[in-house]
Amino acid sequence: MIIGGKSMSVRKFKYVIVGAGLAGVSAIEGIRERDPAGAVLLIGEEPHLPYDRPPLSKKLWTGKKQEAEIYLHPREWYEQLAVELLLGKRVVDLDAAGRTVAVEGDRRRVGYEKLLLATGGTPRILNLPGADLPGIIPYRTLDDYRAVRALAEPGAGALVIGNGFIGAEMAAALSLSGVNVTMVYPGERLIPRVLPEGLGRALQAAYAARGIELLPGQRTVAFTREGDGIVAATDRGRTVKTKFVVPGIGISPSTELAAAAGLALGDGIRVDERMATSDPSIFAAGDNAGFVHPGPGGRRRLEHWDNAVQQGRHAGRSMTGALEPFAAMPYFFSDLFDFGFEAVGELDPLMQVEADWTRENDTGVLYYLRDGLVRGVMLCNVWDKIEEARELIRAGRRVRPEELRGAIR
């Protein structure tokens, strides 16, 4: 390649992974299962060694984990697997025809034989007046955690926007840390895209009983600075004066590189059952990948921890030439005060949901059925039963609701 009249060499790697998150790191494991020696480069925009995100809204707040414990692997792990790390660097261009990427600030491009886009997602930003004020912190990264932590003194006020997982988990985490939390969201209950109405309302009541002020059915419309605080106004005329704000309104999959390179997109980067994109040398996995779910549900994109692990590993194997179709059925989990769950399959509250409670809205199993088939299972404060739930879904057998009583305990 000639740049400015000078010949620029390309640094070549057999495998290049863009995105040093969970899917990217899991891909290393997949690659090394089949290719012990091929040169691997892992490029990540964040300056930290790859880490786990779930503790950012849970265990780091309850004291069950310290920051030093959230890293996926120590630096030596990468050294032992002969993986070169390029951290604190953003990939800014992908030339799919030339099989190279450009790294911000580096004149030399990086060449690949196989590339993985494990770029995850970025938090959606509120498009509102004042949404860029300091103290309004969309929540995704370790640096976001540190920024919120620095503000989250006991007795301080926090406004959490959103009733999905991040909003609900952050409200619980901050409340447990002594912060006075207000939650605002346009819906009528918590986690409405997954929890059936009764459970969502019961959880909401539990939040209120914990002292969280809930403002359902309203939207924030503007933020203004007042002294050292922020005033948020809602469309119902409420104002909330607070020290800081955590918007948890979802993420957008990071597809810019794929889009600019002309790869097929849908919801996220479209991949086949090997996690290959429309370019057979380029793969995608994790929060940014729209794939065909082997269980029920068809093509979709998941934003869950186990999905990133399984897809990342699978993509890594495929990058070495493996032809296996993706067959895993990833689970997901959450912790909301005393209510914790693990779930697998398709969980749409509009489906028929059969509840087998041993303690109502606290401990038991929810079965999500469509056409008489169990498509999804949520294990509420019931642990180590994910494999049984997967078997029930895979069996694909028509069941009568009464057969499900005690099916998983």
Ligand X SMILES: Cc1cc2nc3c(=O)[nH]c(=O)nc-3n(C[C@H](O)[C@H](O)[C@H](O)COP(=O)(O)OP(=O)(O)OC[C@H]3O[C@@H](n4cnc5c(N)ncnc54)[C@H](O)[C@@H]3O)c2cc1C
Contact set with ligand X (CB under 6 A): 18-24, 43-46, 53-54, 56-57, 90-91, 118-121, 139-140, 166, 254, 257, 286-287, 303-305, 308, 332-334
User: Could you give the CA distance from residue 148 to residue 179 in angstroms, rounded to a whole number?
Assistant: 11
Structure tokens at 328: 């895993």
Contacts 24+ apart (CB under 8 A), 392-399: 392/367, 393/295, 393/296, 393/329, 393/344, 393/345, 394/295, 394/329, 397/373, 398/371, 398/372, 398/373, 399/369, 399/372, 399/373, 399/374
Our CB check for ligand X shows the closer of 206 and 284 to be 284
Our CB check for ligand X shows the closer of 52 and 273 to be 52
Kindly state the smallest distance separating residue 233's Cβ from ligand X, in Å. 27
Kindly state the smallest distance separating residue 381's Cβ from ligand X, in Å. 15
Edge-to-edge strand list for the sheet holding 299-301: 265-266, 268-270, 289-292, 299-301
Kindly state the smallest distance separating residue 82's Cβ from ligand X, in Å. 21
Kindly state the smallest distance separating residue 95's Cβ from ligand X, in Å. 14
Kindly state the smallest distance separating residue 391's Cβ from ligand X, in Å. 20
Kindly state the smallest distance separating residue 357's Cβ from ligand X, in Å. 22
User: Could you give the CA distance from residue 174 to residue 58 in angstroms, rounded to a whole number?
Assistant: 9
Our CB check for ligand X shows the closer of 149 and 399 to be 149
User: Could you give the CA distance from residue 16 to residue 1 in angstroms, rounded to a whole number?
Assistant: 19
Kindly state the smallest distance separating residue 111's Cβ from ligand X, in Å. 16
Nearest Cα residue to 160 out of 248, 219, 57: 248
Kindly state the smallest distance separating residue 169's Cβ from ligand X, in Å. 6
User: Could you give the CA distance from residue 226 to residue 247 in angstroms, rounded to a whole number?
Assistant: 19
Our CB check for ligand X shows the closer of 130 and 316 to be 316
Our CB check for ligand X shows the closer of 72 and 215 to be 72
Distance of CA 117 to the CA centre of its chain: 15
State the CB neighbour count (10 A cutoff) for residue 27. Answer: 32
Nearest Cα residue to 43 out of 98, 1, 96, 105: 105
Our CB check for ligand X shows the closer of 112 and 233 to be 112
Spatial contact of 195 and 366, defined as CB atoms under 8 Å apart: no
Neighbouring-strand partners of residue 340:
335
Our CB check for ligand X shows the closer of 130 and 270 to be 270
Our CB check for ligand X shows the closer of 22 and 365 to be 22
Maximum Cα interatomic distance, the chain, rounded to a whole number of Å: 76
